[in-house]
């Protein structure tokens, strides 16, 4: 570690900067805004600490409790080394220094962040450097995941509302893929959001709604099915109450449709950028990796060649390797649930599951793990770890996946 370390306690309005020396003494403190002028002020504080021609402000690592945002981007654009520190870690350091005192201040937290780097820099990794293309893919895939979660929320909300005002719509598409997510379901429900209005629909109106939703096959039979289903006598609310509840259903359908469109748009945009990435062919060579899965893997793993020195490190980051808890005579090998990238762990579960029908080698490995006593989830987790091992090798050696060397990554001869 250099002569100085810095910490920034950030907020929506003002940010506190503190710089300490090797002894932990605060040499400089400054409060600045997250604006171009404020960034110049913070950099000027670091520049004033130069002790010789061989030292510059770029040698001062900056600890901060966030890993992305405009402030972090601005610091990195000016060549600063940014070290993210999790807020929970920060809270434990604060309690370690003064367990009985709950006092907290922004300037004190900035100094504490700087001292964390001064004493424990070997335990905290600098923020990895992805290319702009990989960062853009990451932004789109995370937005797509949020849209998917919003879509699921509105789906459950719509289903609950329909049970109270239009129960036939809940079961009308239950036997089809997508259920209420289907465009035709949303189009018909938007046209008739209550049992009373649905019973008054004509065959021509139902058919027109199906056509607007893009359905082209079996229109007559589907029209007859829905027409008969909606005319079955069911329990109903008083007319005025039913109309009020129907208005709420139509509003939820609009929100669901918007969430569905957003999720599809983000997935399409991420796929378009993913195909432009130099590592696209490597990711796509793996079984079960399509545009969306590949985009998500690239987004979470990044394309910094120095980020993961070993395949074990990559698997641990993805939650695919266990960790050992040992204390005295007690020793447990547990699933890595907390100290892992939860998004990547979820993506890996789906990726490993999809390979069971895409790759005979993956299926054979999964079957061996099940025969050895692993449960379904544990077997998929081991399969995901093996896939990551091969992916790590392929990325480091710039070669595509070869099923003939599965399940072990090829070993590069030395000497």
Predicted confidence pLDDT, tens digits, the chain (415 residues): 567 899 999 888 889 999 998 888 898 899 999 888 988 898 888 887 754 434 455 578 999 998 888 889 888 888 888 999 988 888 888 887 777 666 678 888 899 999 999 998 888 888 888 899 999 999 999 999 999 999 999 999 999 999 999 999 999 999 989 899 999 999 999 999 999 999 999 999 999 999 999 999 999 999 999 999 999 988 889 999 999 999 999 999 999 999 999 999 999 999 999 999 999 999 999 999 999 999 999 999 999 988 898 999 999 999 888 877 777 777 877 777 777 889 999 999 999 999 999 999 999 999 999 999 999 999 999 999 999 999 999 999 999 998 776 655 444 444 4
Where do runs of H (alpha helix) occur along 195-339? Answer: 195-199, 203-212, 219-230, 239-274, 280-284, 291-301, 311-317
**Backbone dihedral angles phi then psi of residue 324, each to the nearest 5 degrees:** -105, 130
pLDDT at 100: 63
pLDDT at 201: 93
The span from the CA of 74 to the CA of 132, in Å, is 14
pLDDT at 101: 63
The span from the CA of 305 to the CA of 235, in Å, is 63
User: What's the pTM?
Assistant: 0.85
pLDDT at 91: 85
Question: With contact defined as beta carbons under 8 Å apart, do 33 and 40 qualify?
Answer: no
Residues forming beta bridges with residue 326, ordered by sequence position: 331
pLDDT at 106: 83
pLDDT at 407: 55
pLDDT at 341: 86
Question: With contact defined as beta carbons under 8 Å apart, do 301 and 295 qualify?
Answer: no
């Amino acid at each position: 570690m250099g002569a100085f370390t810095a910490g920034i306690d950030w907020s929506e309005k003002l940010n506190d900067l503190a710089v300490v020396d090797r002894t932990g003494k605060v040499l400089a403190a400054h409060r600045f805004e997250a604006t171009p002028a404020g960034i110049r002020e913070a950099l000027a504080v670091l520049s004033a600490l130069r002790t010789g021609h061989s030292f510059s402000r770029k040698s001062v690592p900056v600890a901060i409790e966030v890993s992305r945002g405009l402030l972090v981007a601005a610091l990195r654009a000016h060549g600063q080394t940014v070290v993210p520190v999790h807020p929970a870690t920060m809270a434990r350091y604060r309690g370690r220094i003064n367990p009985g005192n709950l006092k907290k201040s922004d300037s004190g937290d900035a100094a504490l962040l700087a001292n964390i780097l001064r004493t424990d820099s070997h335990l905290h990794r600098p923020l990895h450097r992805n290319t702009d293309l990989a960062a853009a893919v990451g932004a789109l895939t995370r937005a797509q995941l949020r849209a998917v979660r919003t879509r699921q929320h509105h789906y459950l909300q719509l289903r609950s509302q329909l049970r109270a005002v239009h129960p036939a719509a809940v079961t009308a598409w239950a036997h089809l893929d997508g259920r209420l997510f289907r465009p035709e379901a949303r189009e018909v429900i938007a046209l008739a959001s209550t049992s009373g209005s649905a019973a008054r629909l004509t065959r021509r109106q139902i058919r027109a709604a199906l056509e607007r939703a893009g359905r082209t096959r079996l229109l007559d039979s589907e029209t007859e099915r829905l027409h008969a289903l909606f005319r079955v006598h069911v329990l109903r609310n008083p007319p005025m109450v039913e109309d009020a509840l129907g208005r709420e259903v139509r509003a939820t359908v609009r929100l669901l449709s918007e969430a569905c469109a957003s999720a599809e748009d983000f997935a399409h945009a991420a796929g378009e950028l993913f195909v432009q990435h130099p590592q696209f062919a490597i990711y796509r060579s793996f079984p079960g990796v399509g545009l969306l899965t590949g985009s998500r893997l690239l987004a979470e793993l990044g394309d910094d060649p120095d980020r993961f020195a070993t395949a074990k490190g990559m698997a641990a980051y993805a939650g695919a390797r266990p960790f050992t808890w040992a204390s005295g005579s007690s020793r447990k090998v547990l699933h890595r649930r907390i100290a892992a990238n939860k998004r990547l762990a979820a993506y890996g579960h789906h990726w490993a599951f999809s390979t069971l029908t895409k790759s005979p080698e993956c299926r054979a490995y999964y079957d061996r793990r099940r025969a050895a006593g692993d449960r379904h989830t544990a077997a998929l987790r081991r399969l995901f770890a093996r896939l990551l091992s091969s992916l790590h090798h392929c990325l480091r050696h710039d070669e595509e996946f070869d099923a003939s060397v599965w399940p072990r990554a090829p070993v590069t001869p030395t000497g």
